[in-house]
Structure 1
Amino acid sequence: MQFPFPVVVCDVGGTNCRIAAQAAPGGPLLALGSLKTADFSGLAPAIRAVSGPAFEPRSVIACGAGPVEDGRRLKLTNAPWIMDGPQIARDLGLGAGLLLNDFEAQALSLPALRPEWLHGIGSPSGALGGAKVILGPGTGLGIGGLIEAVGKLVPLSSEACHIGFAPEGPEEETIWHHLEKAHGRITTESVLSGAGLERLHRARLAASGGAPAPLSAAEITSAALADLRSDAAGTIALYWRLIGRFAGDMAITFKATGGVTLAGGILPRVVSLLDADVFREAFEAKAPVRRLAESIPTQLIIHNDSVLGGMAAIAETPERYAIDYRLRAWA
């Protein structure tokens, strides 16, 4: 499989669509634009809007927040876009293309991460090798894994964002009584996504007898950063602890001795409110396999466009990745 250059790489979420281009293998990755998904009817119009008449992409590798259907079609979970690979190729006159689930792409991008893009979270100094996990909250909650087999990188997809999520301890049990359900359930995504942060904040206020505040996730994070003693800051502290617990659950699920990486649009904004000791305690409290959890390092991606660089690496060396291009690539 070959991806002719110039190649355009796109990270499409329920809220934002980030687009970059690489003119030739080994060349610099140039940011073309960050757009609002709701402002466009689909991927081809968004690419046209930022590429201009003088730039004609020959390949597109795109990831989206939703499952890939039939290998070449992706419907966003939290936005009305349907990304149809062959149709995108026809619309843009492409030679080749590939669609990936957003956290499948995040997992495949792990080997391309640069040290300056990462913030270590009070963890062991180095990974032991083995499976890796990446997860992160945004419009939804994404989870993916990565293993190496027969010299190729193999992504592992997951829908663990939809498993049930229960309270631990009296404080959480009180809050849980006030949590709004999503689709009739309390799940990891309903608590740990952007909308989940809003639910968690309202539930904390209700549990303490206060009036629930209709704040957005962005407003909660801004309020927390502005006043470290505010109710919003207390919610962010709890949110980080719950993220740590769930990250530890995923670490032992995948036996991720290669490390757990956090991503997403929310966490980098509130990294200054992260208590690494509290996070690691929640991460490691996995009796009877605590020693396994203690050995697994944790880190946070603080560079917004790291996944774009990872997809550009796929275009440069597609043979390195265990992707069934016969079923999934399109032209």
Structure 2
Amino acid sequence: MSSAPQLLADIGGTNARFALRDTSGEISTIHTLAVAAYPEFTAAVHAYLDACGNPPVRHAAIAIANPVQGDQIRMTNHDWSFSIEASRRQLGLDTLLIVNDFTALSMAVPHLNPSDYRQIGGGQPQPQAVIGLVGPGTGLGAGGLVHMAHGWQALASEGGHVAFAASDDREAALLEYCRRQHSHVSAERLISGPGIETIFQGLQVMHGKQPLVMSTPDIVQHALTADDALCRETLDCFCAMLGTFAANLAVTLGARGGIFIGGGVVPRLGAYFDQSPFRSRFENKGRFTAYMQAIPTNLITASYPALVGVAALLDAALRRA
């Protein structure tokens, strides 16, 4: 490893988290920047490095909430668009590695300590079995981790954009509500931070209530502290939908190593999530109920897990080089 620090980042549709990694492997100087405050990717990088006194960074690895195919990046949930190679030259870097954010989160899992996540139901994971990941935030991330001869291999995925599957009459009505506005209703449309607002709006229509605009943070707060029935129903519905989505990923991957839950939304739900409809919906798979009951689901509680994963991916890239 070079004596110069490495630049790490985890960029979502709302926030970009930057950090430096020193020669001992310690990740520090973590700053969170609002992506909307910067016209382009390189402007946010320069702002972070300026705040750190412009250290002599040579290698950088960026996790981004977007498909990564080829040189050109166009963010799905924000308007940043850039060339990886042009950005590398503009920033004066030897290496600029750009990876999908859930690829990075997946690679973090083998490095997590038991104190970095909380198990919510299920049994013990099978050693070296496939692991699945889901994460509702500004969008809905999905990914997997497969053990190979050389170690763990992350599976890049855009599974949050699969078609939403309704599991009961209420969800079918919410799906129909969304279909009146969108030709394709993805899982992300409802199982995400903005999706909580969509669920709330749809439930108001279903219950014949006067339309009330409320943000996701306010919905969560009213559900957990103000005993607001409609806000609580919104959260119950969201958690049940997430349970179905996680279960579908588990049976698709055969994820007997467990499902890990990341993203920015679920950790904010606190102890409520443990008792929410999530786990009961996760296990509700008919003839496969016993199969699902054995699979552990784990909520990642570490503050910046994607930075750990993207650091591991950068190490691997530099070894190959």
Matches of 1:300 and 1:204, distance apart in 2: 27
1:115 alignment partner in structure 2: 114
Q: Which moved more, 1:219-228 or 1:6-15?
A: 219-228
Q: CA 1:186 to 1:54, structure 2 compared with 1: closer, same or farther past 3 Å?
A: closer
Counterpart check, 1:205 vs 2:237? no
SS at match of 1:68: coil
Counterpart check, 1:63 vs 2:63? yes
1:222 alignment partner in structure 2: 221
1:93 alignment partner in structure 2: 92
Instruction: Report if aligned partners of 1:8, 1:59 keep a CA contact under 8 Å in 2.
Output: yes
Matches of 2:158 and 2:315, distance apart in 1: 29
Q: CA 1:301 to 1:3, structure 2 compared with 1: closer, same or farther past 3 Å?
A: farther
Shift of 1:289: 2.2
Q: Which moved more, 1:197-206 or 1:178-187?
A: 178-187
1:152 alignment partner in structure 2: 151
Q: CA 1:234 to 1:185, structure 2 compared with 1: closer, same or farther past 3 Å?
A: same
Q: CA 1:223 to 1:95, structure 2 compared with 1: closer, same or farther past 3 Å?
A: same
Shift of 1:215: 1.4
2:129 alignment partner in structure 1: 130
1:48 alignment partner in structure 2: 46
2:278 alignment partner in structure 1: 279
SS at match of 2:20: strand
Structure 1 segments unaligned to the other structure (5+ residues): 327-331
Shift of 1:296: 1.1
Instruction: Report if aligned partners of 2:126, 2:256 keep a CA contact under 8 Å in 1.
Output: yes
Matches of 1:18 and 1:27, distance apart in 2: 18
Instruction: Report if aligned partners of 1:182, 1:190 keep a CA contact under 8 Å in 2.
Output: no
Matches of 2:150 and 2:163, distance apart in 1: 35
2:31 alignment partner in structure 1: 33
What root-mean-square deviation, in Å, do the aligned CA atoms of Structure 1 and Structure 2 show? 2.2
SS at match of 1:63: strand
Residues 50-82 of structure 1: CA deviation (Å, up to 9, x unaligned): 222441211110011111121x43221111112
Runs of 4+ in 1 over 6 A off after TM superposition: none
- 1:139-218 to 2 correspondences below 5 Å: 139-179=138-178, 183-218=182-217
Shift of 1:230: 3.2
Structure 2 segments unaligned to the other structure (5+ residues): none
Shift of 1:123: 2.3
Counterpart check, 1:290 vs 2:265? no
Matches of 1:45 and 1:29, distance apart in 2: 22
Shift of 1:107: 1.2
SS at match of 1:288: helix
Shift of 1:277: 6.8
Matches of 1:252 and 1:182, distance apart in 2: 31
Q: CA 1:125 to 1:229, structure 2 compared with 1: closer, same or farther past 3 Å?
A: farther
Q: Which moved more, 1:167-176 or 1:186-195?
A: 167-176
Shift of 1:180: 5.5
Identity of matched residues, %: 29
Matches of 1:181 and 1:192, distance apart in 2: 18
TM-score by length of 1: 0.88
Residues 7-26 of structure 1: CA deviation (Å, up to 9, x unaligned): 111111111000001121x3
Instruction: Report if aligned partners of 2:21, 2:27 keep a CA contact under 8 Å in 1.
Output: yes
Shift of 1:319: 7.6
Residues paired across the two proteins, number: 319
2:81 alignment partner in structure 1: 82
Matches of 1:280 and 1:180, distance apart in 2: 27
Q: CA 1:168 to 1:27, structure 2 compared with 1: closer, same or farther past 3 Å?
A: closer
SS at match of 1:274: helix
1:14 alignment partner in structure 2: 13
TM-score by length of 2: 0.91
Matches of 1:96 and 1:141, distance apart in 2: 28
SS at match of 2:115: helix
Matches of 1:313 and 1:187, distance apart in 2: 31
Instruction: Report if aligned partners of 1:179, 1:200 keep a CA contact under 8 Å in 2.
Output: no
